[in-house]
C-alpha cells in the first residue's frame, strides 16, 4: 500500500518540472524519526525542535521514537529493517559509527543510507577562570615545556572528545594524562576543582558555567570561528592542527528513491533559513552545515574511516 | 511561594507523586524511567508545573519502591533494597501494615528534612560537591563497601563471596578508561554494562517468585495484617535516632554527584544498626531498619538537586532527566539560575513541599488496597507479579535481551538463596563496582600511577580512614560476640 503510493509519487515527480518538486506531496502521511537518546537527551531535543519547523514545510506528521539500548545499535537495527519509502529515519551522531566499530552489531552505520548532515556541533577547549592559561597557545606552550605534567579531561572513554585530546597530545608532544569520565557533569567538577588543566566539550554542555563566569574558553576546534564567539580563536590559529567534526544528521534504510531525498534536502534548506529556527539553533551554538545525500554519504564514509584508524591507533579496536 | 495558590501546580504535584508511587512500586521501573516516561508530556506545559511534575515523580518513586520491598520482598527501586531486610521480616511477622506506616512517615521526615537543607544550604553544599576528586570518589566507594559486614547476615565469608560476584558483574561493559569493550561477547546490548536495576529485579523479584512457587501448600492464603498502622508517638520517638542517621547520610550522599540514594540507604541501615542499643534485632524485623533507609533515600530526592541547581551538574539519572526538563523550557540550571529564574526555583521548592504532603495523603489512600492485594490467593498474585516484572523490564528499553537477563539472574538468585548466600552484598557490589574501579583507575591516570594520590587528597584520606575504622569496629564486635 505504502509502496504503491510512493511509486505514484515518484512517477508524478518525473512528470512535473523540477521547481514544482518542493510543492509535491510527500509519499507517506507520517514520518517516524528514531533516536537512541532518551527523552530530553541531545538527539531527542534536536529532533523535537526540528520537526516543529519541518511540519509546516513538508506537510506531513512527524513522530519521534526513542529506541534506547545497545548504545544506539537497537535504534539503527529498527530503521535498517524499515521500508525505504521515506517513513522512517534515524537521527545520526558520531555515536552510531563508534558503536558499529566497537562492537560490530548485526546492523551498523553501514546498514543505513545517510540522507543529510544538518548541523555541526562545535567543540571547545576550556579551563577554569582561576587557571593561568588565557588561550590555548598558553596551555600548549606550558605543556610543551613540562611534558607529562598536564591533565586533560574528556567526557567518555570512547568519545570523539577523547580521540581529539589524544591527537592533540601527539601533535604537540605534551604526554599529558588524558582522563575520561562518565559524562559531562563529572568532567566539569574536575575542571572546576582544578584536578584537570583542560576540558573539552560542546558549548551547550558548559553553558551554565560559562554564563556564570566560572570557566574560560581557550579555543574552538572547528575550521572557522563561531559566529557567537567571534573573539575565540580556533585551535589551528593557535598553532594546533586539530579539527573535530561532531555532526547531527539523518539516515534511512537503504534503497530509498532519490526523489524523497531531494524533497528532504529542499525542506531542510528552507527550515535552516527560517528566522524562527535560526534563533533556536543559534542559542545552542549549532552550526548549520547542510549536506545533501551524495555529500552526506561521502562525509560519513570518510568520517568512519578516520575514526576507525584512530581507534586502532589508540588500541581500542584491533 | 506562588506554587500554593496555583491549582495547576498543586494538581501536577499530586499527579506526579501518584505516577511516581505506582512506577516506583513496579519492579523494573526506576525513578528515572518513571520520569522519562512523563518527560515528553511536559514539553507543552508551563516551566514551573513541568519541573514540579518531574520532581514530584522522583519523590513519589523513591517512596513507592519501599511498598513491594516490604510486602513481597521485592524492592521496586534500587534504593529500597536495604528496606527488604527488616521490612519484609516485619511483614512476615504480620506487621506489614505497621512497616508500611513507618516507611511512609520516615519518607516524609526525610523528604521534608531534605527540602529544608535544599532551601537553606544549597550554596555551602555545592562546595562539598566540588571538593570530590576521583580519589575522593574512590574513598566513598570503599566506605560504601564497608557495609557488607552488616548485610552478610549469618556468614561473613558468604557475604564476601556475594560482594565479589557483584563486583565482577560490574566489570561488564565499556572499560571506563580505555573504552575497550569488556566481557560483552560482541553484543551491543552489553556495551553499557549490566544495569543494577536488572540484577536487582532478577535477584529479588524473580527469585522470590520461584521460592514461593516451590513451597508446599503455597496456594494457601496466610492470615496477615491487612490494616495500615501509622506509628504511635512512642514508636515515632523510638525511630527518631534512626531517622536522624538517615537524614544525615542522605544529605551527604545526595549532594555528591554519582553516589545517590542506594548507597545512602545501605549506609543509613548500617549506621542505624551500629548505633542501636539492640543491634541484634536488625534483620529480624526491627522498625529502625525500615526507618533509616527510607528516610535516607527520600532526603536524596531533595539534596540531589543541590549540584543540579547550583552547578548545573546532574548527580544521578533522575537528575539528568530533570535537567532535560529544564533545558526543554529554555532554562539552564547553574550558578545563574537563582538570578535569572528565581520564580522557577521557588516554584520548585514549593512544589516539592506539596509533593511531600501529597506523598503522605496518597500513601494513606494507596496502602490499604496494596495490603489487600498481596493477600489474594498466591497463584493469582505470583502470576500477576511475574507478568508485571516481564512487561516492566521490557518497557524500559523494549529489549527482550533485558527480559532474558532478568530471568537468568532470577534463576541464579534462586540457587544463591538455596546455598545461603545473601544477595544484598551482591547488589551493593554491582552498584559500587563501576564507581570503585573507574575512580581508582582515573586517579592513577591523573597521578601517573602514583598511589600516594589517595593519601594526599584530604577528602579521600578521610573517607578511607573512616572505612578502615568502621570495618575494624564491626569486626572487633563480631569477634567479641563470638568469643
**Is A203 contained in some domain?**
yes
CB-nearest to A190 from B133, B307, B397 is: B133
Of A62, A49, A119, A69, which Cα lies nearest the Cα of A89?
A62
Contact B36 A45 (CB under 8 A): no
With beta carbons under 8 A apart, name residues in chain A contacting B134.
179, 190, 195
Distance from CA of A18 to the nearest CA of B (A): 38
Give the dihedral of Cα atoms B116, B118, B124, B127; nearest 10 deg. 150
**Other beta carbons less than 10 A from residue B29's beta carbon:** 27
Residues A63 and A210 in one domain: no
- A212 in contact with B, Cβ within 8 Å: yes
> So what's the ipTM on this one?
0.82
Of B387, B398, B330, which Cα lies nearest the Cα of A45?
B330
Distance from CA of A185 to the nearest CA of B (A): 5
**Is A241 contained in some domain?**
no
Contact B186 A103 (CB under 8 A): yes
Predicted confidence (pLDDT) at residue B474 exceeds the cutoff of 80: no
Total beta-carbon pairs less than 8 A apart between chain A and chain B = 159
Residue A132 burial (CB < 10 Å; 0-12/13-18/19+)? exposed
Q: Could you list the residue range(s) of the whole structural domain that residue A202 is in?
A: 123-220
Q: Residues A42, A160: contact at Cβ < 8 Å?
A: no
A:96-115 residues touching chain B, CB 8 A cutoff: 99, 102-105
CATH number for position A82: 3.40.190.150
**Is A318 contained in some domain?**
no
Question: CA-CA distance, B89 to B83, in Å (whole number)?
Answer: 10
Contact B179 A314 (CB under 8 A): yes
Contact A157 B311 (CB under 8 A): no
- A150 in contact with B, Cβ within 8 Å: no
The C-alpha R_g of chain B, in whole angstroms, comes to: 21
pLDDT of residue B149: 72
- Start-to-end Cα distance in chain B: 60
**Is A162 contained in some domain?**
yes
The residue among B314 and B404 whose pLDDT is bigger is B404
- A308 in contact with B, Cβ within 8 Å: no
Residues A132 and A117 in one domain: no
The grid coordinates of residue A283 equal: 542559542
**Most confident of the following: A1-15, A129-143, B133-147, B316-330:** A129-143
- A257 in contact with B, Cβ within 8 Å: no
Predicted confidence (pLDDT) at residue B115 exceeds the cutoff of 60: yes
CB-nearest to A71 from B192, B320, B448 is: B192
Residues A129 and A90 in one domain: no
**Is A197 contained in some domain?**
yes
Least confident of B94-98, B221-225, B268-272: B221-225
pLDDT of residue A17: 41
Contact A195 B134 (CB under 8 A): yes
A:40-69 residues touching chain B, CB 8 A cutoff: 40-41, 44-45, 48, 67-69
CB-nearest to A316 from B40, B178, B325 is: B178
pLDDT of residue A204: 80
Residues A111 and A145 in one domain: no
- A182 in contact with B, Cβ within 8 Å: yes
With beta carbons under 8 A apart, name residues in chain B contacting A189.
129-130, 132, 257, 311, 313
Contact A189 B336 (CB under 8 A): no
Contact A208 B312 (CB under 8 A): yes
Q: Residues B224, B376: contact at Cβ < 8 Å?
A: no
With beta carbons under 8 A apart, name residues in chain B contacting A284.
none
Q: Residues A39, B36: contact at Cβ < 8 Å?
A: yes
**Is A34 contained in some domain?**
yes
- A169 in contact with B, Cβ within 8 Å: no
CB-nearest to B176 from A38, A157, A188 is: A157
Q: Which of A43, A48, A50, A69 to mutate to test the interface with B (most CBs of B within 10 A)?
A: A69
**Is A228 contained in some domain?**
no
pLDDT of residue B224: 61
**Is A289 contained in some domain?**
yes
- The DSSP symbol for B1 reads -
Q: What is the mean pLDDT of residues B350-368?
A: 93
Residues A89 and A178 in one domain: no
- A211 in contact with B, Cβ within 8 Å: yes
Contact A102 B174 (CB under 8 A): yes
Residues A114 and A46 in one domain: yes
Confidence band of B482 (pLDDT split at 50, 70, 90): low
Q: Residues B56, B68: contact at Cβ < 8 Å?
A: no
- Strand partners for A63: A32
Residues A210 and A269 in one domain: no
The residue among A7 and B394 whose pLDDT is bigger is B394
With beta carbons under 8 A apart, name residues in chain A contacting B187.
70, 103, 105
Residues A87 and A191 in one domain: no
What kind and span of H or E run contains B187? none
Confidence band of B443 (pLDDT split at 50, 70, 90): very high
Distance from CA of B54 to the nearest CA of A (A): 12
Residues A58 and A127 in one domain: no
Contact A45 B177 (CB under 8 A): no
Q: What is the mean pLDDT of residues A216-236?
A: 93
The residue among B57 and A212 whose pLDDT is bigger is B57
Residues A140 and A152 in one domain: yes
With beta carbons under 8 A apart, name residues in chain B contacting A179.
134, 177, 442, 445-446
Residue B447: φ, ψ to 5°: -95, 0
Predicted confidence (pLDDT) at residue A14 exceeds the cutoff of 50: no
Q: Residues B71, B370: contact at Cβ < 8 Å?
A: yes
With beta carbons under 8 A apart, name residues in chain B contacting A103.
181, 184, 186-188, 191
CA atoms within 13 A on the CB side of A99: 28
Contact B181 A104 (CB under 8 A): no
The C-alpha R_g of chain A, in whole angstroms, comes to: 21
Q: Which of B133, B312, B335 to mutate to test the interface with A (most CBs of A within 10 A)?
A: B312
Predicted confidence (pLDDT) at residue A6 exceeds the cutoff of 50: no
Contact B446 A179 (CB under 8 A): yes
Question: CA-CA distance, B315 to B260, in Å (whole number)?
Answer: 7
Q: What is the mean pLDDT of residues A44-67?
A: 89
Distance from CA of B349 to the nearest CA of A (A): 20
Distance from CA of A151 to the nearest CA of B (A): 6
The number of angstroms, rounded, from the C-alpha of A178 to the middle of its chain's C-alpha atoms is: 22
Residue B180 burial (CB < 10 Å; 0-12/13-18/19+)? middle
How long, in residues, is chain B?
483
Confidence band of B3 (pLDDT split at 50, 70, 90): low
CATH number for position A153: 3.40.190.10
**Other beta carbons less than 10 A from residue A5's beta carbon:** 15
Q: Residues A82, A67: contact at Cβ < 8 Å?
A: no
pLDDT of residue B73: 87
Chain B nearest-CA residue for A77: B188
Residues A91 and A133 in one domain: no
Least confident of A101-110, A264-273, B6-15, B267-276: A101-110
Residues A94 and A114 in one domain: yes
Contact A189 B129 (CB under 8 A): yes
Domain end residue (candidates: A185, A205, A220): A220
- A280 in contact with B, Cβ within 8 Å: no
Predicted confidence (pLDDT) at residue A236 exceeds the cutoff of 90: yes
Domain count, chain A: 2
Amino acid at each position: 500500500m505504502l509502496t504503491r503510493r510512493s511509486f505514484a509519487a515518484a512517477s508524478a515527480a518525473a512528470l512535473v518540472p523540477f521547481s514544482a518538486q518542493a510543492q509535491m506531496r510527500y509519499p507517506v502521511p507520517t514520518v517516524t524519526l528514531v533516536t537512541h537518546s532518551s527523552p530530553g537527551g541531545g538527539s531527542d531535543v534536536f529532533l523535537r525542535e526540528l520537526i516543529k519547523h519541518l511540519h509546516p514545510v513538508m506537510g506531513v506528521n512527524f513522530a519521534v521514537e526513542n529506541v534506547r539500548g545497545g548504545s544506539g545499535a537497537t535504534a539503527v537495527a529498527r530503521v535498517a529493517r524499515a521500508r525505504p519509502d521515506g517513513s522512517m529515519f534515524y537521527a545520526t551522531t558520531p555515536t552510531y559509527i563508534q558503536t558499529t566499530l566497537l562492537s560490530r552489531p548485526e546492523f551498523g552505520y553501514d546498514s543505513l543510507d545517510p540522507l543529510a548532515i544538518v548541523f555541526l556541533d562545535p567543540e571547545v577547549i576550556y579551563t577554569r577562570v582561576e587557571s593561568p592559561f588565557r588561550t590555548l597557545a598558553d596551555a600548549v606552550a606550558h605543556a610543551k615545556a613540562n611534558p607529562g605534567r598536564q591533565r586533560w579531561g574528556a567526557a567518555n572513554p570512547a568519545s570523539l572528545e577523547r580521540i581529539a585530546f589524544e591527537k592533540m597530545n601527539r601533535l604537540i608532544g605534551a604526554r599529558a594524562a588524558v582522563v575520561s569520565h562518565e559524562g559531562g557533569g563529572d568532567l566539569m567538577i574536575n575542571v572546576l576543582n582544578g584536578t584537570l588543566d583542560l576540558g573539552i566539550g560542546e558549548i551547550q554542555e558548559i553553558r551554565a558555567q560559562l554564563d556564570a563566569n566560572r570557566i574560560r574558553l581557550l579555543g574552538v576546534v572547528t575550521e572557522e570561528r563561531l559566529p557567537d564567539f567571534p573573539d575565540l580563536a580556533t585551535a589551528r590559529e593557535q598553532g594546533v592542527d586539530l579539527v573535530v567534526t561532531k555532526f547531527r544528521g539523518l539516515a534511512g534504510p537503504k534503497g530509498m528513491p532519490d526523489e524523497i531525498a531531494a524533497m528532504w534536502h529542499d525542506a531542510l534548506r528552507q527550515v535552516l533559513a527560517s528566522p524562527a529556527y535560526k534563533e533556536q539553533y543559534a542559542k545552542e551554538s549549532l552550526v548549520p552545515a547542510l549536506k545533501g545525500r551524495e555529500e552526506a554519504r561521502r562525509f560519513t564514509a570518510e568520517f568512519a574511516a578516520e575514526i576507525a584508524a584512530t581507534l586502532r591507533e589508540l588500541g581500542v579496536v584491533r | 511561594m506562588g506554587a500554593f495558590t496555583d491549582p495547576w501546580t498543586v494538581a501536577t504535584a499530586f499527579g506526579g507523586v501518584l505516577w511516581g508511587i505506582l512506577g516506583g512500586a513496579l519492579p523494573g521501573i526506576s525513578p528515572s524511567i518513571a520520569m522519562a516516561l512523563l518527560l515528553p508530556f511536559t514539553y507543552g506545559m508551563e516551566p514551573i508545573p513541568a519541573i514540579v511534575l518531574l520532581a514530584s515523580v522522583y519523590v513519589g518513586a523513591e517512596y513507592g519502591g519501599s511498598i513491594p520491598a516490604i510486602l513481597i520482598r521485592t524492592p521496586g527501586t534500587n534504593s529500597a533494597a536495604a528496606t527488604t531486610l527488616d521490612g519484609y521480616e516485619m511483614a512476615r511477622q504480620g506487621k506489614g501494615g505497621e512497616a508500611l506506616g513507618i516507611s511512609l512517615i520516615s519518607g516524609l521526615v526525610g523528604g521534608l528534612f531534605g527540602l529544608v537543607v535544599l532551601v537553606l544550604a544549597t550554596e555551602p553544599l555545592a562546595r562539598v560537591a566540588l571538593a570530590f576528586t576521583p580519589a575522593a570518589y574512590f574513598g566513598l566507594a570503599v566506605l560504601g563497601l564497608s557495609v557488607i559486614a552488616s548485610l552478610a547476615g549469618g556468614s561473613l565469608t558468604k557475604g564476601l563471596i556475594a560482594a565479589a560476584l557483584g563486583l565482577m558483574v560490574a566489570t561488564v561493559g565499556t572499560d571506563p578508561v580505555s573504552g575497550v569493550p569488556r566481557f560483552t561477547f560482541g553484543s551491543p546490548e552489553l556495551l553499557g554494562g549490566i544495569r543494577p536495576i536488572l540484577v536487582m529485579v532478577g535477584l529479588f523479584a524473580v527469585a522470590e517468585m520461584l521460592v514461593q512457587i516451590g513451597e508446599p501448600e503455597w496456594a494457601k492464603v496466610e492470615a496477615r495484617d491487612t490494616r495500615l498502622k501509622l506509628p504511635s508517638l512512642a514508636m515515632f520517638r523510638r525511630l527518631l535516632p534512626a531517622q536522624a542517621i538517615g537524614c544525615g547520610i542522605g544529605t551527604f550522599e545526595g549532594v555528591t554527584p554519582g553516589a545517590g540514594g542506594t548507597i545512602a540507604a545501605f549506609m543509613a541501615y548500617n549506621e542505624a544498626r551500629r548505633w542501636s542499643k539492640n543491634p541484634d534485632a536488625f534483620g529480624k524485623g526491627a522498625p529502625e531498619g525500615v526507618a533509616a533507609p527510607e528516610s535516607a533515600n527520600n532526603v536524596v530526592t531533595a539534596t540531589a538537586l543541590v549540584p543540579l541547581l547550583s552547578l548545573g551538574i546532574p548527580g544521578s539519572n533522575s537528575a539528568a532527566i530533570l535537567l532535560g526538563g529544564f533545558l526543554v523550557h529554555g532554562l539552564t540550571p547553574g550558578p545563574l539560575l537563582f538570578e535569572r529564574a528565581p520564580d522557577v526555583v521557588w516554584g520548585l521548592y514549593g512544589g516539592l513541599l506539596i509533593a511531600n504532603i501529597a506523598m503522605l495523603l496518597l500513601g494513606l489512600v494507596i496502602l490499604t488496597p496494596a495490603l489487600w492485594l498481596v493477600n489474594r490467593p498466591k497463584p493469582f498474585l505470583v502470576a500477576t507479579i511475574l507478568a508485571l516484572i516481564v512487561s516492566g523490564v521490557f518497557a524500559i528499553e523494549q529489549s527482550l535481551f533485558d527480559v532474558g537477563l532478568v530471568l537468568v539472574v532470577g534463576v541464579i538468585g534462586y540457587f544463591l538463596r538455596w546455598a545461603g548466600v545473601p544477595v544484598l552484598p551482591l547488589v551493593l557490589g554491582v552498584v559500587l563496582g563501576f564507581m570503585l574501579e573507574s575512580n581508582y583507575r582515573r586517579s592513577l591516570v591523573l597521578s601517573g600511577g602514583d598511589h600516594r594520590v589517595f593519601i594526599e587528597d584530604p577528602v579521600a584520606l578521610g573517607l578511607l580512614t573512616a572505612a578502615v575504622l568502621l570495618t575494624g569496629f564491626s569486626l572487633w564486635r563480631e569477634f567479641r560476640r563470638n568469643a
